[in-house]
Amino acid sequence: MAETLPFEEDVDLAERATGEPALHVDVDGFEGPLDLLLELARRQKVDLHRISILALSEQYLAFIEEAREMRLELAADYLVMAAWLAYLKSRLLLPEPPKGEEPSAGDLAAALALRLRRLEAIREAAKSLGERHQLGRDVFARGRPEPVEIRREPVWEASLYDLLTAYARQRQKRAVERVTMPHRQVWSLVEAREALQHLVGEARDWTALDAYLVRYMVAPHMRPTVLASALSATLEMAREGRLVLRQDKPFAPIWVRAHGAATAVSAES
Amino acid sequence: MDKRMNVVPLRAPETAEEPDHAEAMRIAEALLFAAAEPLGREELAGRLPEGADVERVLVDLRELYAGRGVNLVPVAGKWAFRTAGDLSFLLARDVVEPRRPSRAAMETLAIIAYHQPVTRAEIEEIRGVATSKGTLDTLIETGWVRLRGRRKAPGRPVTYGTTPAFLSHFGLDAIDDLPGLEELKGAGFLEGRLQGLAVPTPSDDTTLRDDEDPLDDEAFAPLDPGDGPEDAQES
Amino acid sequence: MDKRMNVVPLRAPETAEEPDHAEAMRIAEALLFAAAEPLGREELAGRLPEGADVERVLVDLRELYAGRGVNLVPVAGKWAFRTAGDLSFLLARDVVEPRRPSRAAMETLAIIAYHQPVTRAEIEEIRGVATSKGTLDTLIETGWVRLRGRRKAPGRPVTYGTTPAFLSHFGLDAIDDLPGLEELKGAGFLEGRLQGLAVPTPSDDTTLRDDEDPLDDEAFAPLDPGDGPEDAQES
């Protein structure tokens, strides 16, 4: 129900007075010079519309003077207001100069009176607002509201596309898993070397590599792998000094022969 | 219960002996309304004007609110206002929550759709992973999948199939509107070069097949628990 | 107010054209009783049976509860049940008296309420004194005052306004119901403060005024620090 609001305590003016010099208290109790002026005006006990700004100014200045004599610290805005009121007072006492640029003393006084009336009015408004029935203080809401339970009802969302994708994805994955790929036939480098060593044994003279390899390319699909592996093997064996390669021009047939019978034989052992 | 406003005229509120009965009712009404907890007779009596007849106040208030949207009800020997029982639906609000089935659920659903009637073991065989009970439960919750019967086979496993709600959700007139193998390939769902893959022509005919028995037992309610492993490789 | 039970017979609850009026009243009654916050016409309409006359339901309910211990009152443009104001002396008895807002806080709140949208400088001009940051912070924390936007003026000061919680706390249906508003308006106190812009009435409309910008920056969180002096003659 009513919780304690975190408001500052409304400190009573009299309460603030405790233990302090009386006049000091008075100044402290006011919320600024306008508040002080309003209080002084109230003491005139006349309608704010008929207030004498001149008399009010004199009272304010007297008050400030008194405070100074008591060596009270006054906030700057009280002094600013005092200076302005002293000026206003002198203007009000002097004969009005011919109409000039500046607002007349009467206008200034009227403006001040208006400000005072406006502050008075908003104070009244604040008072009547505070006097209204307030929730949790004067009037109460249901002490135990019955909460509305939120029931979440799932609505399933899926499209035919999702369904077909899921089906196809699943079936395809399994189908691929089950397919056994035909074993790819290759002529390995090892096989190539073996074959070439036979060749080297035979080829004391230049021998066309292609012609020699034909016997290994019985199946047509073996041709690329045999050629590739054989070339790699011959290059390797040439580097090792076992055989010599010759090609007369680009894309011409490759000729092979043993580097020398002795080396070839010794290498083989 | 008469749902019309039950306006009970107060019994002789102006009789001389109890001039404050109406006022006591107002106060009790406000106290009960504002209270966070039910109020007992003593608590009320302490707040009502001197000499108020608490019992009569409560009886009259209860009568005043009988048949209304809010009733004065006894709660553990005390009294409180509560929403009328027949309006309890007001205290709940249904919020529609869009949810998407998991990938595993969609795959299982698709297999049920194409291969029905199908058992859990068969689903797992096609998918190649264990199907969690939760996935099947979810599908049944969606209303798209139903338990059809039991396969005439050892263990008598439950067979699953799709429902008319499935057709209407996916915008199908009939289950055989599901695209076949060639259509799936044509639409790019399946790779064209796949071979040896058969997509069955689905049927959701409610008539049990020759190898199906009816779900004779009562224990079909949740799901057959012994139908397969509970764990799942799937997420 | 007649404190006796004001039992209003329902107007022709059985007329053919609106057979559900009594039921709609029961439902509205239950909803308004159960709700923790005031309910708007739209919220109610959405929960009442099709074709129910929300306006009539509210008028009839209000009448039914007038003079009772609990009243149906318009609050912040919505509707809520509240204990009757004249019973406050009884109900407030066991309420821990909330600390009352200080005079400075109430004055500042009043200025914000009657002059909104209003800047801190304008509040200070009316009060003739610097406004402590604490006062505004407290009003915002209480939930009665909010930062509306920024005045299109040098320094782009923040503008303040009141919230629906303010209306609800002070039992106001709308900002126009502020007490003494007519008098203040009549005296011309709410006009012409803004560079010749006549702003005749306070407005807590969430729509920004022509001379307001949105609170675009992120730094609006606590309070704009550069808006006025931090010191205060007030405590």
pLDDT in tens, C160-173: 999 999 999 999 99
Position C95 scores a pLDDT of 62
CB contact under 8 A, C29 and B90: no
Taking an 8 Å cut-off on Cβ atoms, the answer to whether C69 and B9 are in contact is no
Angle of helix B133-142 relative to helix B103-115, nearest 10 degrees, comes to 70
Residue of higher predicted confidence among A265 and A226: A226
Express each pLDDT in C100-159 by its tens digit: 788 889 999 999 999 989 999 999 988 888 888 889 999 999 999 999 999 999 999 999
A150: distance to nearest CA of chain B, Å? 5
Instruction: Give all chains having 3 or more CB-to-CB distances under 8 Å with chain A.
Output: B, C
pLDDT at B31: 94
Q: Indicate if the pLDDT at residue A205 is higher than 70.
A: yes
Where is mean pLDDT largest: A76-80, A131-135, A241-245? A131-135
Task: Name the neighbours of B, counting chains with at least 3 Cβ pairs within 8 A.
Answer: A, C
> Which residues in A lie closer than 8 A to residue C110 (C-beta atoms)?
122-123, 125-126, 129
Q: Reply yes or no on whether the pLDDT at B83 is more than 80.
A: yes
Reply yes or no: is the peptide bond before residue A220 cis, omega within 30 of 0: no
State yes or no: pLDDT of A84 exceeds 80.
yes
Would the pLDDT of B30 be above 90?
Answer: yes
Which residues, 6+ apart, have CB-to-CB distance to C224 below 8 Å? C157, C158
Kindly tell me if the per-residue pLDDT of A171 is higher than 80. yes
User: What would the two tokens of residue C48 be?
Assistant: 């009442």
The interface pTM score, or ipTM, of the predicted complex is 0.66
Confidence of residue B229 (pLDDT cuts 50, 70, 90): very low
Angle value at C-alpha B3, between A141 and C30, nearest 5 degrees: 20
If residue A129 lies in a helix (H) or strand (E), which one and from where to where?
Answer: helix A105-131
Distance (Å) from the C-alpha of residue C95 to the closest C-alpha of chain B?
A: 11
A34 pLDDT higher than 70: yes
Q: What is the pLDDT of residue C5?
A: 47
C-alpha dihedral (B133, B139, B142, B147), degrees to nearest 10: -90
Name which of A167, A173, A181 to mutate to probe chain B: the one with the most chain B Cβ atoms within 10 A of its Cβ.
A167
Ordered DSSP codes for B66-125: TTSSEEEEEETTEEEEEE-GGGGGGGEEEEEEEE---HHHHHHHHHHHHH-SEEHHHHHH
Look at residue C12 in the predicted model and tell me its pLDDT.
45
From CA A191, how far away is CA A208, in angstroms rounded? 19
Length of chain A: 269
CA C106, C110, C113, C119 dihedral sign is negative
Q: Is A153 on the interface with B (CB under 8 A)?
A: yes
Percent of chain A with pLDDT over 90: 3
Inform me whether the pLDDT recorded for B34 exceeds 50. Answer: yes
- Under the banding of pLDDT at 50, 70 and 90, the label for residue A183 is low
Give the C window 157-196 contacts with A, CB below 8 Å: 168-172, 178-181, 183-184, 187, 189
B136-145, B190-199, C81-90, C188-197: lowest mean pLDDT where? Answer: C188-197
Q: Give C-chain residues touching B68 at CB under 8 angstroms.
A: 26, 29
pLDDT digits (tens, 9 = 90+) for C178-218: 998 888 887 777 764 443 344 457 788 888 888 888 887 55
pLDDT in tens, C13-70: 444 445 589 999 999 999 999 998 999 999 999 889 888 899 999 999 999 999 999 9
- Asked if the C-beta of C129 comes within 8 angstroms of chain A's C-beta atoms, the answer is yes
Confidence label for A264 from pLDDT (cuts 50, 70 and 90): very low
Angstroms from B85 CA to nearest CA on chain C: 10
Q: Is C90 on the interface with B (CB under 8 A)?
A: yes
Residue B199 at interface with chain A, using a CB cutoff of 8 Å: yes
Spell out the residues 6+ positions from residue B77 whose beta carbon is closer than 8 angstroms to its own.
Answer: B40
DSSP state of C7: -
Test mutation, C6, C33, C62, chain B, max B CBs within 10 A? C33
pLDDT interval class at A249 (50, 70, 90): confident
Q: Which two tokens stand for residue A247?
A: 């090609």
User: A145 to chain C nearest CA, in Å?
Assistant: 5
Q: Quick one: pLDDT band at residue A193, thresholds 50, 70, 90?
A: confident
- Using the beta-carbon criterion (under 8 Å), do B3 and C9 form an inter-chain contact? no
Q: Do C106 and A134 touch (CB under 8 A)?
A: no
Average pLDDT (B113-134) is 89
Q: What is the mean pLDDT of residues A45-69?
A: 82
Chain B residues within an 8 Å CB radius of A143: 33-37
Instruction: Choose the closest CB to B90 out of C22, C31, C69.
Output: C31
Shortest Cα distance, chain A CAs vs residue C85, angstroms? 6
**A-B interface: how many C-beta pairs under 8 angstroms?**
124
pLDDT at B230 over 50: no
Please tell me which of the candidates C81, C99, C126 has its beta carbon nearest to residue A7.
C99
Contact flag A168-B169 (C-beta cutoff 8 Å): no
Best residue in B144, B162, B175, B189 for a mutation probing chain A (most A CBs within 10 Å): B189
Query: Smallest CA–CA separation between C228 and chain A, in Å?
Result: 15
